[in-house]
Structure 1
Amino acid sequence: MSNTRYASLRRLLPRAVLLAASLLSLPFMAGGVARAAEPIRVGGKNFTEQLILSSMTEQYLRAKGYSTTLTTGLGSTLMRQALESNQLDVVWDYTGTALVVFNHIKEKLDAEHSYARVKTLDAQKGLVWLDASKVNNTYALAMPRERAVATGITTLSEYAKMVRDTPKDRHPFAVDMEFAARPDGLGPLKEAYQLPLTRRDVIQLDPGLVYTALRNNQVDTGLVYTTDGRVKGFNLVLLRDDLNYFPAYSAVPVARAETLAAHPELSAQLNALAAQLDNDAMTEMNYQVDIGQRPVDQVATDFLRQHGLI
């Protein structure tokens, strides 16, 4: 059977290892077969949202009559290397990641210009960014809902003003260690919003523990991701980034140009899938997996059926 399915991360690991080996010039797929006859190789990263998107894409394409394989559980850089080196054909990636990590662009761009820039830059590498979905999985600051309601704070500017107006109070803020050290992370955020958080206020944690600290009301605010299912599951409120500090991380299907040329209808089909996705839908699906403990494949199948895609 040409279709390869993975129902758990335990079963995903061998494929991820196999793909890593292929990048070291070990055989990953036999050659000599016309591109149009080969399966479309769908790839995905190693967190919930990506597991859902890649499973959804593989199921959707299989329902359209394509032969497919699915390789997920990959780190962001490894997935990109696999796409560039013709080990994968279709993935979902984020404009902010492509700008900052893959293309090393430090310029601040809005969502529209971020998409246009990565589309142009990656076209030179034989990669096509198709239509952007309405999913923007960027950074955000969140508060426990009870505290947000009590203070009436809805924006980052209002939060910063509260911190400035109460300098003698502690304002515990949880942040993951990567963001605390990034040159475009905590330091510039504090500068942009004139946010006088001190060392005693900033608590550096593993990303998952930031959500736990917020749920347990151990911190006033914390750094989260906008489509993470725990935002809904833990009843958190996202503070609006009214100065547009955080870059756009629009989720977009990305495909090799030669794959699209071999399958003339593929671009339109992937664009139709992207058109059905937005932050509310993605957050709900992440919630069903992370909080509701539903299988990734089933959540993806349900979404496809509900939107008439399969």
Structure 2
Amino acid sequence: MIFAINIVRGEVMKNKTCKNYKKKTLILFLLFLFLLFGCMNGHSNNELEKQPTSKGKLTIGAKDFTEQSLLLTITSVYLRENGYEVETVSNMSSPDLRSALVDDNIDFYWEYTGTALTLHLNEKGENDPETAYKKVKGLDKENDIVWLEKSEFNNTYAILVREEFSKKHGITTVSDLADYIKNGGELKLASEKEFYKREDGLKRLEEAYDFDLSSDQVIGLDYNLTYKALEDKRADAIVGFVTDGSIHNLNIVALEDDQSFFPAYNVAPVVRKEVIEKFNDLPELLNNIAERLDNETIRTLNYQVDIEHANTLEVSRNWLKEEELID
């Protein structure tokens, strides 16, 4: 009888011990979860504290050629590094880009003084860079468009010839080329089609330098094909730009515009007035880029992308690092 009672008592004690063990285990498990989620929450809060607050969102536009793509990428990387959210819109024509700015669809883009004067404002282009800049800045002020500091690089038109052609005929200026044509010299000129339509286009160039090319002497090509035509000797001269990267790659001579025919085309950030008022540090940031750009710099960057086929983002970041604008 006593033995039976002891067995029952033992079972009861065993059950109590088991229940106590489970209870303790549950408490320890809940305590573990509490500590775990507490640590995770603390870590999450610390991470949020470390995240920089965005200064705001900017939409930047660009035209449809390498130089503009570089300016867009350089600017977007730099502004992101300085706390801005950036959206980019690229491959736009000059008129569409200007309309996007005026209609508040973009906040700013890089524009050329000569393009703004002749194409957007229907004004006469200016040969002197400072005169062109002051003129366009004053006119656009009435449109609530702010021109920040212009860069030293002047992407104006140029008449380009092969070095061997220049040496053979003693041609180093556009006046030399005009004399060569008037004296019966054989010449084929390749040009992109827009040059025919512009105020500072082919017909005005002929008038300024007093020469005339027949339709058989002019080859209309897409811009990217004009250099190939010069290299293959299908053309003796082409209409190009001073900052083209291909000048580095080919033995090309840019003829001196000795009559100062071509207007200045210095580039500058063009920003809506309300954007400047909203983001006080934006002018200083954009001017940091503009003041570091000159003809040789942009020509080298164009060369790396167009001729060496380097990645635009990589080229842009490398330049920003070299200029100590980013780490």
TM over 0.5: yes
- Whether the aligned pair in 2 keeps the contact of 1:133 and 1:250 (CA below 8 Å) is yes
Offset from partner CA, 1:132-152 (integer Å, 9 cap, x none): 001111111000122223333
Letter in 2 for 1:93: E
1: CA distance between counterparts of 2:304 and 2:267? 19
| 1:106 to 2:124 alignment | yes
- Structure 1 outlier segments of 4+, above 6 Å: none
1:3-82 aligned within 5 A: 38-82=56-100
1:109 deviates by: 4.9
Letter in 1 for 2:141: A
Structure 2 residue aligned with 1:160, among 171, 178, 193?
A: 178
1:281 deviates by: 0.7
Letter in 1 for 2:164: E
Q: Determine which structure has more spread, i.e. the larger CA radius of gyration.
A: 2
1: CA distance between counterparts of 2:248 and 2:165? 15
Q: Which moved more, 1:126-135 or 1:63-72?
A: 63-72
Q: Which residue of 1 aligns with 2:266?
A: 250
Name the SS for the 1:247 alignment partner: coil
TM-score using structure 1 length: 0.83
Q: Which residue of 1 aligns with 2:186?
A: 170
Q: Which residue of 1 aligns with 2:213?
A: 197
User: Across the two proteins, how many residue pairs are aligned to each other?
Assistant: 273
2: CA distance between counterparts of 1:283 and 1:113? 24
1:37 deviates by: 5.2
- Whether the aligned pair in 2 keeps the contact of 1:180 and 1:204 (CA below 8 Å) is no
Percent identical across equivalent pairs?
38
2: CA distance between counterparts of 1:235 and 1:301? 29
Name the SS for the 2:111 alignment partner: strand
1:289 deviates by: 0.8
Name the SS for the 1:43 alignment partner: strand
2: CA distance between counterparts of 1:284 and 1:107? 27
Offset from partner CA, 1:134-190 (integer Å, 9 cap, x none): 11111110001222233332111122122223x1x4211112222234443111211
Name the SS for the 1:212 alignment partner: helix
- Whether the aligned pair in 2 keeps the contact of 1:129 and 1:252 (CA below 8 Å) is yes
1:123 deviates by: 1.2
- Output the aligned Cα RMSD: 1.7
Tell me, which stretches of 5 or more residues in structure 1 are unaligned?
Answer: 1-35
Letter in 1 for 2:163: R
Structure 1 residue aligned with 2:240, among 188, 199, 224?
A: 224
| 1:93 to 2:131 alignment | no
Name the SS for the 2:84 alignment partner: coil
Offset from partner CA, 1:19-69 (integer Å, 9 cap, x none): xxxxxxxxxxxxxxxxx9531222211111101001100111111222222
TM-score using structure 2 length: 0.79
Relative to structure 1, the CA distance from residue 108 to residue 115 in structure 2 (aligned partners, 3 Å threshold; closer, same or farther) is closer
| 1:280 to 2:296 alignment | yes
- Whether the aligned pair in 1 keeps the contact of 2:125 and 2:264 (CA below 8 Å) is no
2: CA distance between counterparts of 1:111 and 1:68? 30
1: CA distance between counterparts of 2:299 and 2:125? 28
Offset from partner CA, 1:212-259 (integer Å, 9 cap, x none): 111112222111111121222233211010111011111111111111
1: CA distance between counterparts of 2:285 and 2:197? 40
1:198 deviates by: 2.9
